[in-house]
Each structure stands twice: as structure tokens, then as C-alpha cells.
Amino acid sequence: MSANNNQASSFNHKKYRAFAPIQKTDRRWPNLVIEHAPDWCSVDLRDGNQALIEPMSPTQKLEMFKLLVDVGFKEIEVGFPAASAPDFDFVRQLIEENHIPDDVTIQVLTQAREPLIARSFEALKGAKKAIVHLYNSTSTVQREQVFKKSRDEIKGIAIQGAEWVKEMAEQQSETQWSFQYSPESFTGTEMDYALEVCDAVINVWQPTPDNKVIINLPATVEVSTPNVYADQIEWINDNISHRDSVRISLHTHNDRGCGVAAAELGVLAGADRIEGTLLGNGERTGNMDIVTMAMNIYSQGIDPELTLSDMDRIISTVERCTQLAVHPRHAYAGELVFAAFSGSHQDAINKCMSIDAEKRKDDPNAHWEVAYLPIDPRDLGRSYQQVIRINSQSGKGGVAYVLEQDYGIQMPRWMQVDFSPHIQAFAEKSEAEVGPTAIHEIFSNTYLNPVHAVTIDSYQLSREGSVDTLEAKVQAQGQHIELSGKGKGVLDAFVKGLSSAIGHDIVLLDYNEHALPSKVGSENEQAVAMAYVQISIQGQRYCAASHCDDIVTASMQALLNALSRSDVSVAKTAAISA
């Protein structure tokens, strides 16, 4: 048999069967619309963290927690403290160092096993408010093939776990407790049985309208179209006991690429609460992306009750903590989602934005109606310069090719995008072909030698544990100034020192480096390092570059060059000089 035939026989759809929808003729959710934001719960620090190749360090966890608080989450699942010492220690750190605001409730996950529940309560000792999230798997395949237990036995595990949770909570009465139960793999569980188990747990906890329990209904693995999930949620919503004392929560995954859609339809079907992660990190294809769902709600004129206006900070923090890059086409957050390369798209956007600007002179709340842009990029801290890109894709590629072939400069894509308008402006003014020499001169004047550049004189770096301390001297308009900063790595320390000096937060968005051929920057055979940076200050992005035989110096000088190109450069110089 040929190789092609072998491949064809292995790709066999007959070994799968369609998911059987529930029979429901009274569905109401298709006629509804989302009118307000659900309650949000971030699981970045638990479900998201456990899916990483390299789990977050304690420093990264704390940075992520602070971001989640600043974004506006009121419920944050912070770990599985009974599963690992790092998770336990992190929960203790949050409590003992008073990192948890009074209006934020932390949540921990535990299986329905007595030692694990006890360890979870130990981790939460001293917390003002906490949610204990209890789970056990109820699906048919798990019962029959993994646990080999009957329906009554699996329900008994849930009931016993709920009783332990209740008993241990009563022993730590100084904490305001909330309880949550998840029938794991809910979507693969018979609906009547899922309801039976949830009702049994509710009966143990005896909630009231003033002290509700959370019943979380996870699509642990996405197995059906979102409308089927919505039917399941609506059926549970209609039949669950003590509905006025229950918050129905959803936890969808993205195995079919429909995690956001399933969550949105689930809210239409009666859910009160959504669990997910920023930008969708999670097991397999990821958790439900809260940024996307919240921005979908925002685009419909509804307050998502999360603040996502500093998208650069969100992306930078998530990428740094998860070591996962955000795709340039990621909904709302991606670098290219507001970019128009097509001439007809650019023309339409230009005309619409001109009309929009006139409307807003009389009515700041005028409805947004701009072709190809579902929301105003400025709402996320993006500028219109990033939207309207006059040169075509091939134009940027041609400029990048010339610089690399003739000068060894390997511009990263984000700098190619930033550089294109400079070349086009020169071409339009000169009305002539732009040769390699002119391209390199424009590149140098723009990124390597900006006007009023602050320059690096010297630096000293020391390390204690995982923290780097940087002492640097820079020259600003003839004056020698000293800077100091601490961070995780030399660039992080330098950015913090600069931010303190200028009185504005600097976010390092992108960094690239490579070695230049020796003929480019040096007369000897030693390679010269080339560094490229992209920073954000007050929602505006600035790119720059520098080269030196010392990569650390090149990197810091590139940051200073980017700062010199910013709108705060004059204020910055005054601040440093003072």
C-alpha cells in the first residue's frame, strides 16, 4: 500500500460519532441578548498556570495577580494549594503580605478528598474572603473507564467532599466563606445525573439568597456546538434546586475553537458567572478568552466591568509571565488586528474617521461607525498611526530586504511597519526612487541618532537572587545624570530606572537583537551587536535601535533612543536634569 493510502486510511472519520443534543423544544435563549456583564473569575493563576511548559515563578505569579486586580477582577482563582508547595506558598504570600484588596475574593481548587480539602483550608487561614472550589468528574467515560464506579458511588464522592468542606469552614469562622462545586466534564455527563449530583451538593451546603453557592458547569473538553451547550445550561437553569440561592458559573475550553461563543450563549441561557483567562491560555487549545468576550460585550455598548484600556500592559505582562506570544491576529489584542494594508480599506477608514471626528466635536458619545474597525483602537491604547499604513506589504518587505542585504540590518516586523511611513514620506517628497543609501540614512536618523538623544555613559550591574540592580550614568543635553533601578534582568531594571526618572511608566513591548557583520560597525573582526526595541508610554508606541560591541550597552541605548523619540522627551530631560 502506498504512503498516501496509509495516510488516507489513518484519517478515518468513522471512528467518531456526533454528539447527541438534548431534546429541548422550549428553548428561549436564541431570542435573548446580553444586557449586562456576567461576574468574571480569572483562572490564569491556576488553570492557565498548570498548562504552561514552565509554570510561573512566585514573582511572575504576583505580577499577574496585581494585573488581574488592576483590570478589575473581583474573584481570582489563585491556585491548587493542596497539589503543590509553590501553590500553597503563593496563597500564603498573598494573605500574609496583604496583597488581596478588600473587594477581591480569592478562590482555590481542591478535589473531593479529605487531606486535600484540609490542606486547602490550611492555605486559606487568615483570608478575609475565600471561595473553596470543590470538584470531581461525573462524565460517563470517566465513571466507566477511569474510576470504574457507579453513578451512586460518584455522587457519594461529591456529597462527602461537600460535607468535609462545610465542616472545615465552620472551624475557621473568621473567614467569609463561599462554596463552589464543579461536576468536571459536565458536557459529557447525562443531564439528569449532572442535575442529581449538583442538587445533592446544594442540599449539603444549604445556601440562601444572601449566601449563595456557585455551581460551575465546565465544558472541560469542548465536545459540541455552542448551541448544544446553551441548551444544557438552560435546562440546568430551569431545573436546579434553590435557583435563587445559586450562581450558575461556566468554564468553557476551546477545543473546537468555540470557547467564547459557548460562554456567550451560555450567558443567554441563564448563567451568572464566567471563568476564563486573559487572552485564552490554558490546557490544549486554551481556556475561554476573557479579553475577547469582555471586548465583545464592550463593542455592543455594554460596560464589561473590566478595564482593558491599557492593552499593551496586559499583553506585555501575559507574554512575560506565560512565555507565550500573542498572535498578531488575536481578536482585539493582536498587533495587526486594526491594520489595513488594502488600499480600498485604507480609503474607507480615512473617510469614516474624518466623519467620526466631526461628529465628536458636538457629541463625544456619538456612536462609532467606521468601516473595517469594530471598535475605536484608541479605547485599547492604540493609535491611528498603527491603523492606517500607506505602504503595501511588499513595500515594507522591499525596504527590509535592502537594509539586510546592504547593511546587515534585520528589522523585526513591528519595526518594518513603523519604518514604512518614513520611507513613503521621503518618496512622496522627492518624487524619485529611494535607493539603499537614502534608506539607510533615514533609518539611522530615525532610530540610531534621534534628535536630542540621551546617551549611555556607563553602567554597573549586580545581582542578588533573581533581582538585578542597575546603576547607570547617562548624558542628557550635556549633563551627566545617574539612574538606578531593580528588576528581573538588566532591561527590566533599566526600564524601571528610566520610568522613575521621567515620571511616566515605560512598557517594553518588543525586543530583538542580532550580530551585525563586522564590516558594518567595526574595522576589526569582532561582531557588533544590534538591538531593537519598541516601548509604550502613555498609550503611544515608539521604536528605536542601537549598535555596539557590548549588547547590554546597545540594548540600553536603544531604549534611550526610543525615549528620545517620544512625546515626553522634553519633559523627560527636564525631569532627569532636575
Strands (E), 80-170: 105-111, 129-137
Please give the C-alpha separations between residue 97 and each of 85, 92, 93, 281, in angstroms, as whole numbers. Answer: 18, 8, 6, 27
Q: Please say if the pLDDT value at position 570 is more than 60.
A: no
pLDDT at site 7: 64
The yes-or-no verdict on residue 182 having pLDDT over 90 is yes
pLDDT at 350 over 90: no
pLDDT exceeds cutoff 70 at 578: no
Half-sphere exposure of 109 (CA within 13 A, CB side): 24
Pick from 368, 288, 384, 291: nearest CA to 332 = 291
Sequence-separated (6 or more) residues with CB below 8 Å from residue 321: 56, 60, 61, 63, 64
Q: Is the pLDDT of residue 572 over 60?
A: no
**Strand pairing of 455-464 and 273-276?**
unpaired
Question: Which residue's entry shows cell 518588543?
Answer: 510
Q: CA-CA distance, 488 to 470, in Å (whole number)?
A: 11
Cα separation of 8 and 14, whole Å? 12
Rounded mean pLDDT, 350-363: 87
**Tens digit of pLDDT for each residue in 110-161?**
999 999 999 999 999 999 999 999 999 999 899 999 999 999 999 999 999 9
389 pLDDT higher than 80: no
Taking 80 as the threshold, does the pLDDT of residue 1 lie above it?
no
The CATH class, in words, for 393-448 is: mainly alpha
More confident residue, 504 or 533: 533
Out of 3.90.550.10, 3.40.50.720, 3.30.9.30, 3.20.20.70, which CATH number does the structure's domain 35-305 have?
3.20.20.70
Q: How far apart are CA 128 and CA 103, in angstroms?
A: 10
pLDDT over 50 at 522, yes or no: no
Q: What percent of the chain has pLDDT over 70?
A: 91
pTM above 0.85? no
- Which of 393-407, 459-473, 506-520 comes out lowest in average pLDDT? 393-407
pLDDT of residue 370: 93
* Grid-cell match 540610531, residue found: 448
Residue length of the chain: 578
- Distance, in Å, from the CA atom of 254 to the CA atom of 501, rounded to the nearest integer, reads 44
- What CA–CA distance (Å, rounded) separates 275 from 229? 15
Q: Decide which of 526 and 468 is more confident.
A: 468
User: What is the Rg, in whole angstroms, of the alpha carbon atoms belonging to the chain?
Assistant: 28
Query: pLDDT tens digits for 186-241?
Result: 999 999 999 999 999 999 999 999 999 999 999 999 999 999 999 999 999 999 99
Which residues, 6 or more positions from 553, have their beta carbon under 8 angstroms from its beta carbon?
A: 456, 459, 546
Q: Is the dihedral of CA 56, 61, 65, 67 positive or negative?
A: negative
pLDDT for residue 2 = 57
Average pLDDT over residues 474-481: 81
Rounded mean pLDDT of 47-60? 94
Quick one: pLDDT band at residue 395, thresholds 50, 70, 90?
very low
455-577: CATH topology is Double Stranded RNA Binding Domain (3.30.160)
332 DSSP assignment: T
Least confident interval from 283-292, 340-349, 456-465: 340-349
Task: State which fold the 343-386 domain adopts.
Answer: Helix Hairpins (1.10.287)
Q: Tell me: pLDDT of 86 over 70.
A: yes
Q: What is the DSSP string of 344-411?
A: HHHHHHHHHHHHHHHHHHH-TTPPP-BTTBSS-GGGGT--GGGTB--S-HHHHHHHHHHHHHHH----
**Rounded Cα gap, residues 201 and 206, in angstroms:** 9
Q: Distance (Å, rounded) from C-alpha 407 to C-alpha 444?
A: 11
The percent of residues above 90 in pLDDT, for the chain, comes to 70
Check residues 391 and 19 and name the one with the higher pLDDT: 19
Task: Quickly state the pLDDT bin for 388 (edges 50, 70, 90).
Answer: very low
Highest mean pLDDT among 134-148, 349-363, 398-412: 134-148
**Whether pLDDT at 547 is above 70:** yes
Checking if the pLDDT of 446 tops 50, the result is yes
**Has residue 507 got a pLDDT over 70?**
yes
Q: Which three cell numbers stand for residue 451?
A: 534628535
Domain coordinates in residue numbering, the chain:
35-305, 343-386, 393-448, 455-577
Categorize the per-residue pLDDT at 526 as very low, low, confident or very high, splitting at 50, 70 and 90. Answer: low
Lowest model confidence (mean pLDDT) among 264-268, 285-289, 349-353: 349-353
Relative orientation angle of helices 311-322 and 58-71, to the nearest 10 degrees: 160
User: Which of 504, 511, 520 lies closest to 551, judged by CA?
Assistant: 511
* Greatest mean pLDDT range, 81-85, 357-361, 482-486: 81-85
Whether 47 has a pLDDT exceeding 70, the answer reads yes
273-289 burial code (b ≥16 CB/10 A, e <16) = bbbbbbbbbbeeebbbb
The pLDDT score that the predictor gives to residue 6 is 62
User: Is 257 in a helix, a strand, or coil?
Assistant: coil
pLDDT tops 90 at residue 396: no
Of the candidate ranges 62-71, 192-201, 424-433, the one whose mean pLDDT is the lowest: 424-433
**Burial class, 165, CB count within 10 angstroms (exposed 0-12 / middle 13-18 / buried 19+):** buried
All cell numbers assigned to 43? 483562572
